[in-house]
Structure 1
Amino acid sequence: MDNKIWLESYSPGVPAEIDLAEIGSIADYLEQAVARYADRPAFISGATGVAISYRELDRLSLQVAGYFQSVLKLPAGARVALMMPNLLQYPVCLFGLLRAGYVVVNVNPMYTPRELEHQLKDSGAEAMIVVELFAHTLAKVIAATQVRHVVVTGLADALPWAKRTLGNFAVRHLKKMVPAYNLPGHVGYLDMLSQGAAAGFKPVATRPGDLAFLQYTGGTTGVSKGAMLTHLNVLANAKQGEVWSAPFLDPNEALISITAIPLYHVFALGACLGFVGMGGANVLVADPRNVPAFVRVLSQYRFASIPAVNTLFNGLIHDPGFARLDFSALRFAIGGGAAVQRAVAQRWEQITGKPLVEGYGLTECSPTVTCNPLDLKAFNGSIGLPMPSTEVSIRDDQGRELPFGQAGELCVRGPQVMQGYWQRPEETARVMTADGFLRTGDVAQMDEQGFLRIVDRLKDMILVSGFNVYPNEIEQVVMEHPEVLEVAAVGKPDPGTGEAVKLYIVKKTPSLTAEQVVAHCREQMTGYKVPRQIEFLDELPKSNVGKILRRELRERA
């Protein structure tokens, strides 16, 4: 939209544009942070409390860079896969690989052999760093891939000697968490560091436009694709987040952020990089789905920021220990990855005294596109305003721009938008418009203050007797019922109406009946939106990040 009306709604002090000329490589970005904040903690293990400072992150990541560059002789530009949960080894390896000019291929540790084989073959990864818990998955497929160099890390390898020895022994021998694997010639994490330190590292001239990540999309339609994200894409997005929050922060304050979303996911990756630029500390939580243990981690820190998805916030507000935490340092709770439900946001605000601020992004945008102002007084149901240097356009199915208030496909243009899909020019052409906008596949509308609302995913829309029904709307209404813990709405084939609405519900109280839910819906929604069928489940299928997998539920329906 040529008229950037959203700029009028920005918080005071937030600029309309960021300075792209001052953005270099992620290596430059880290080195600047090290120079400013050397002795501050950079990453903290939520499980053990062990921290590594910016100075240590600098030293250890250079050893990783030295190993791949000087020992393995891997050329700059090679793809290297990373497969581990939120451990201290993750940022060490991540920054080491990027400093040596490699392209990081983030891999979900929970992948099946089939999924892992596809991603390794598609990316052409030549090397891989994997945590030993999942090395058996790699062993099953490595022969079919181009991976020739493997580093295996124990779960406790980044801890001091005593904790490392006890931790790895417990994982391997007492808990028996490590399945047997055969990866001939693999090197251990600590050996990699010592060999890298001995071999040394020669700095690499990485340009802003060079590839930094092949970040694979979830593959909810067809095959998973690698979004090509450059150093500029990722750092522009980090800078956008930095200027968005700067008016509310003291630049001399060392802030703590809770990183409970997996770092291999673009939401966590973006949030983590932004905090590094500000000299903050990221507390890494490997398993936030164990909510009582997660709350115990939160109790140990005066945290300023917690980016998460709706299901994670929902889990926290239903834990009795959460309300007893100290929220005095909390500045931002930012929801993304999936729609934040009003009932969850309102309860969050009641408990913490701080609003749950919703943003919106996608892998192809490194990830953030929009965010609500951080001085928001209360949850407003929108995904906020376009970030600085970001343009949005709401378009119909013919590509024509629609006026304010009308729903259409959200299209985005800005420095954070990917270069395309790896080795998939046809897929890239399908999502990029002639004037350089990315088609998101999300249906949105903008009001006259520039605030955007996501109506739903185009592919999740349910067509009932020719009427468009959006699952997000149904779910928001059902979540307002006091006896509902979680809900997902999907379309089910129906001979009379084409499709009908089916709900999958996790109860908060055992006495809840389908009839009560239907009666609640009839009070709030027009007839064709009311669910025809309700099935109660003990839990809903979710991704590792906590997104409810509607696709699996559609198949079940």
Structure 2
Amino acid sequence: MQTRIHDTLSAAVAAKPDALAMIDYADGKFTWSDLAEATAAAREVLLAQGVKPGDRVVMVFENCLAVCAFIFATSQLDAISVPLNARLTHAELDRLITHSDPSVVVFCNDASESAVIHGKAFSAKAAIGRYGTVGLFQRRGSQPEPCFEDGAEQVALLLYTSGTTGVPKAAMLTHNNLLCAAVASAKVRGMQDDDMTYLALPLSHIFGFVTFVSICGAQGAMRLEARFAVERLYKALQMDVTLLPAVPQMHALLFHYARAQKNPRYDVGLLRFVSSGGAPLDPVWKREAEAFYGIPLQNGYGLTEGTAGVCATASPLGDPDVSVGHPMQDSLFRLDFEAEGATPDEGIGEILVGGPQIMNGYFRDPEQSAKVLTEDGFFRTGDLGRFDDAGRLHIVGRSKELIIRSGFNVYPVEVEGALTDHPEVIMAGVVGRQVSGNEEVLAFVKVAADCSLSEADLSAFVKDKLAPYKRPTRIVLAQDLPAAPTGKILKAKLISTFADQLMPETTH
């Protein structure tokens, strides 16, 4: 019985040591034995750095062999992985490292110039092994977390869900959370050991991380991309890809690129499963995707605190349904009709999710954990939904203000904080707006009447404060913003109030 995520690697090595496991961003090919040897080398590095059970190991990276090896090595030591996207700014990264209190930070350099730059800022020491090249920064005084033999108690992963807001929140995901999520994901995709999955989703995001574990569990193979490049996806689809999990932006770029190649349809015939997650599904866009792929486009609903997917569709080709489908394996749902924003007469309530994929809480934050976890273990999502007569879940809105841009979570309060750091900005309100296959970030700021600040000035000001996907698509400057008597910005009125200044709508 598998009780740790590294058990998936052990099983794959035992079953098919010489089979292809991974093709990386540089077209390097690695077998399961190669991955096991890289993991063994990474484990020795961590031991030399003094990593103990319960320690956190931060990894700063873009997808590569090294991060896979260090994730499994960390699991073998009963330490806790903290994967962070190398594209974060130094200020963002420093805050999350401080909060997670790791004993060591690993900068995975081979696939990421950003990781190299961050490593230099921390005076990281180089280490070269079967995993490639990394930089190591050892921290003193880190306090280990308790360890448990039970995989349902032992935390394997910390994933941040609130970026770099004033109070970072890291979901504590156990080995059992991840293994159950991987099994559910593999079942939905019908994953087999001869599948090739295209994985450009970052392993620093729950969608990518669980996909990685599910591939290892199914003993298939993956094309692991450091960054999404539409040319590489297009080429891979012509060669061997059978499973394509992606966010809408990836699909949209692929359609545009294929048309430029005078190939408006995928006609290779190898692809048998394609899904879109991380953003709402537009029915017109869904029809376009299915016309391109020639197979159904499946939708789903997931969240970091629920270890990725908890709902998924199994729709036939041409089905107009744009729900997020039925609960995935062992996931439980109920609706709270007394929650803010609920409309019981329409069957709409806040979505609560239970089951073996629900996190153990937020890292060292019992107060926030208590706010979102019920006594019987359900997670309050903050999303509003309803079930139709067929038992399918429809997401109708968010009581939280989360923006999902290109599959990444953007929290308005973080962007607002960056904007209001400017001395000439009085107030700021940030909202999301749906565009084709994505959601854009719109910012509205209040400035004084004699202010000479421009949109370009503010865009430049936040550039070093926010990762690219968090930066506003547009920044509207005004002397007044719609507000309640208390002075609170009425965000629901921002787009309509400034509609003239936002035209024409742009896509990003």
TM-score bracket for this pair, using the shorter chain length:
0.7 to 0.9
Q: Give 1:32 shift.
A: 1.3
CA distance in 2, matches of 1:263, 1:326: 30
Find 1:59's aligned residue among 27, 32, 37.
37
Equivalents in 1 of 2:368, 2:5: separation in Å? 28
Does the C-alpha gap of structure 1 residues 227 and 245 become closer, same or farther in structure 2, counting only changes over 3 Å? same
CA distance in 2, matches of 1:409, 1:55: 46
CA, structure 1 residues 125+220, in 2 after alignment: closer, same or farther (shift >3 Å)?
Answer: closer
1:213 matches 2:157 = yes
Instruction: Please give the alpha-carbon distance, in whole angstroms, between the structure 1 residues aligned to 2:402 and 2:76.
Output: 43
Q: Deviations over 1:361-405 (max 9, x none)?
A: 111111111111265653511111111211111113449998695
Which residue of structure 2 lines up, in the alignment, with residue 395 of structure 1? Answer: 336
**Cross-structure match for 2:8:** 29
**2:202 counterpart of 1:257:** no
Q: Is the 8 A contact 2:181 2:357 kept in 1?
A: yes
1:99 alignment partner AA: Q
On the 8 A contact 1:491/1:502 being kept in 2, the answer is no
Task: Find the aligned partners of 1:239 and 1:150 in 2 and give their Cα distance.
Answer: 38
Name 2:284's counterpart in structure 1: 343
Aligned partner of residue 361 in structure 1, secondary structure:
strand
Change (3 A) 1:65 1:379: farther
CA contact (8 A) 1:34 1:54 kept: yes
Map of 1:482-497 to 2, 5 A cutoff?
A: 488=440, 493-494=481-482
Change (3 A) 1:495 1:97: closer
Task: Establish whether residue 291 from structure 1 lines up as the match of residue 230 from structure 2.
Answer: yes
| 1:56–1:425 distance in 2 versus 1, CA, 3 Å | same
For structure 2, the 5+ residue unaligned runs are 140-146, 404-430, 445-480
1:272–1:375 distance in 2 versus 1, CA, 3 Å: farther
Q: Closer, same or farther in 2 for the Cα pair 1:420/1:277, shift >3 Å?
A: same
Contact 1:394/1:408, CA 8 A, preserved across alignment: yes
Give secondary structure in 1 for the equivalent of 2:44: helix
Pick aligned residue for 1:362 from 280, 300, 303: 303
**Alignment partner, residue 375 of structure 2:** 434
Superposed CA deviations along residues 177-228 of structure 1, whole A, max 9, x for unmatched, are: x9xx9x8899xxxxxxxxxxxxxxxxx9954121100111143865331110
Letter in 2 for 1:108: N
The TM-score with structure 2 as length reference comes to 0.74
The answer to whether 1:224 aligns with 2:203 is no
Q: Which runs of 5+ in 1 are unaligned?
A: 1-21, 143-148, 160-167, 169-177, 187-203, 463-470, 480-484, 504-527, 541-557
Match of 2:184, SS?
A: helix
Work out whether 1:73 is the aligned partner of 2:11.
Answer: no
Q: Which amino acid aligns with 1:284?
A: L
Asked if 2 retains the 8 angstrom alpha-carbon contact of 1:383 and 1:453, the reply is yes
| 1:420 Cα deviation from its structure 2 partner | 0.2
Aligned counterparts, 1:457-536, within 5 A: 457-460=398-401, 475=434, 479=436, 488=440, 493-494=481-482, 534-536=502-504
Greater strand proportion:
2
Tell me the equivalent position of 1:313.
Answer: 251
Instruction: Tell me, in whole angstroms, the C-alpha distance in 1 between the residues paired with 2:361 and 2:206.
Output: 16
Offset of residue 410 of structure 1: 0.8
Task: Give, in whole Å, the separation in 1 of the partners of 2:443 and 2:116.
Answer: 38
Identity of aligned residues (%): 27
Deviation at 1:230, TM superposition (A): 0.7
CA–CA distance in structure 1, aligned partners of residues 308 and 187 of structure 2: 16
2-structure distance, mates of 1:57, 1:404: 54
CA contact (8 A) 1:489 1:501 kept: no
How many equivalent residue pairs?
A: 426
How big is the shift at 1:97? 1.8
**Partner letter of residue 83 of structure 1?**
V
User: Residues 533 and 406 (structure 1 numbering): CA distance in 2 closer, same or farther, change over 3 Å?
Assistant: farther
- In the alignment, does 2:273 pair up with 1:332? yes
Task: State the match for 2:454 in structure 1.
Answer: none
Q: Which residue of 1 aligns with 2:89?
A: 112
* Cα separation, 2, equivalents of 1:389 and 1:532: 48
What is the correspondence of 1:400-439 to structure 2 with a 5 Å cutoff? 406-439=347-380
**Alignment partner of 1:238 is 2:179:** no
Distance 1:461 1:206 in 2: 35
Question: How many angstroms apart in 2 are the aligned matches of 1:238 and 1:67?
Answer: 28
Q: Answer with 334-343 or 122-131: which moved more.
A: 334-343
The aligned residue for residue 136 of structure 1 is 117
Task: Give the 3 Å change call, closer, same or farther, for CA 539–351 of structure 1 in structure 2.
Answer: closer
Asked whether the equivalents of residues 43 and 283 of structure 1 are also in contact (C-alpha less than 8 Å), the reply is yes
Question: CA–CA distance in 1 between the matches of 2:68 and 2:402?
Answer: 38
The equivalent residue for 2:99 is 122
Supply the distance in 2 between the matched residues of 1:404 and 1:271 (Cα, whole angstroms).
Answer: 38
Q: What is the Cα deviation at residue 530 of structure 1? A: 12
* Structure 1 residue identity aligned to 2:10: E
Q: Which residue does the alignment assign to 2:242?
A: 304
Q: State the Cα distance separating 1:238 from its structure 2 match.
A: 0.8
Give the secondary-structure state (helix, strand or coil) at the position aligned to 1:454: strand
2:54/2:78 contact within 8 Å kept: yes
- Counterpart code for 2:368: E
The one-letter amino acid paired with 1:135 is V
Provide the residue aligned with 1:162 in structure 2.
Answer: none
Distance in 2 (CA, whole Å) between partners of 1:221 and 1:54 is 39
The equivalent residue for 2:294 is 353
- How many angstroms apart in 2 are the aligned matches of 1:73 and 1:335? 41
Cα displacement string for residues 515-542 of structure 1 (whole angstroms, at most 9, x for unaligned residues): xxxxxxxxxxxxx9996653347664xx
2:428 corresponds in structure 1 to none
Q: Which amino acid aligns with 1:115?
A: E
Q: Please give the alpha-carbon distance, in whole angstroms, between the structure 1 residues aligned to 2:223 and 2:345.
A: 41
1: distance between equivalents of 2:63 and 2:339?
43
Q: Which runs of 4+ in 1 moved over 6 A?
A: 183-186, 399-404, 489-492
Separation in 1, partners of 2:21, 2:339: 48
Secondary structure of 1:261 counterpart: coil
Q: CA 1:185–1:94 in structure 2 vs 1: closer, same or farther (change >3 Å)?
A: closer
Report the Cα offset of residue 302 of structure 1: 2.1
d(CA) in 2 for partners of 1:287, 1:63:
25
Instruction: Determine if contact 2:206/2:307 at 8 Å carries over to the other structure.
Output: yes
Deviation of 1:326 (Å): 4.4
Which residue does the alignment assign to 2:450? none
1:550 alignment partner in structure 2: none
The superposition leaves residues 290-328 of structure 1 with CA deviations (integer Å, 9 ceiling, x where unpaired) of 4234423433x3211111111111111111236465441
How far is the alpha carbon of 1:344 from its aligned partner?
2.2
Cα displacement (A) at 1:459: 3.0
- How far has the Cα of 1:88 moved from its partner? 2.1
CA contact (8 A) 2:160 2:169 kept: yes
In structure 2, distance between residues paired with 1:315 and 1:388: 32
CA distance in 2, matches of 1:298, 1:416: 31
User: In the aligned structure 2, how far is the partner of 1:48 from the partner of 1:461?
Assistant: 34
C-alpha separation in 2, matches of 1:460 and 1:151: 41
Write out aligned runs for 1:146-165 (5 A). none
